[in-house]
Amino acid sequence: MKITFYGHSCALIETNGTHLLIDPFLTGNPLAPISAEDIHADYILLSHGHGDHYGDTEAIAKRTGATVIGNYEVVTYAQKNGVEKIHPMNCGGSFSFPFGRLKMTIAHHSSTMPDGSSGGVPCGLLLYLEGKVIYHAGDTALFKDMTLIGEEGLDFAILPIGDNFTMGIQDAARAVEFLSPHYVLPIHYNTFGYIVQDPNAFGKAVSAHSPECEVVILDPGQSIAL
Ligand code: NI
Ligand code: MN
């Protein structure tokens, strides 16, 4: 399996030849190393409705025929805007897809669609792929129930560290304590002026409290094999 970071919260997971694209905000993302016209997706997974996550969902889904997965409000919005293949879910629910199992977890944040309509509740994404467990937290504050997610035995966690809109470095390092993943990838930083952070400071905070966890800092466009 391969995980590629595309800046902000966008990640591509390639598993058994299937491309799972998470939160594809590329157009307007100053960190994006690839355009919405050039990226491939079989499924688009959305944590919530904000524009910096929903991003290029419609254009990519229409071009590739990808199925859009997210909470009910988010995917019906996509459908209303011309996306043909959708799969509605909601917080706490899981489903076995051809690529593996996906559970939508709680996230403490907000969720409004780009036109201001309701995006339902924000979610995190817990993926069971090839015997490994991967957690993309979406946008969230720190919450103690992350320990329940950690009990799943996480191989890889993808956590926001930008502060202001989500967890900052100290809370994200706390989240690593609750989640105890083998690897953690920091995201949702340095895209805008509000969320400027040094990922190496996050690395130091994690090493201090969770030395068994390896911090993976990827520049946009870089990948890690899992
Ligand atoms: Ni958000
Ligand atoms: Mn965001």
Overall average pLDDT of the 135-148 stretch: 98
Distance 163 CA to ligand 1 centre (A): 12
Distance 111 CA to ligand 1 centre (A): 6
Confidence of residue 18 (pLDDT cuts 50, 70, 90): very high
Overall average pLDDT of the 162-190 stretch: 98
Helix, strand or coil, per DSSP, at residue 157:
strand
Report yes or no: 169 and 202 within 8 Å, Cβ to Cβ.
yes
Distance 39 CA to ligand 1 centre (A): 22
| pTM over 0.85, yes/no | yes
Model confidence pLDDT, tens digit, residues 107-122: 999 999 999 999 999 9
**What is the CATH architecture assignment of 2-221?**
4-Layer Sandwich (3.60)
Please report which ligand is nearest the Cα atom of 25: 2
Distance 226 CA to ligand 2 centre (A): 25
Domain boundaries, the chain: 2-221
Burial of 81 (0-12, 13-18, 19+ CB in 10 A): middle
What's the pLDDT score for residue 208?
97
List CB contacts of 78: < 8 A, sequence separation 6 or more. Answer: 54, 57, 58, 61, 68, 70, 86
Neighbours of ion ligand 1 (CB under 5 A): 50, 139
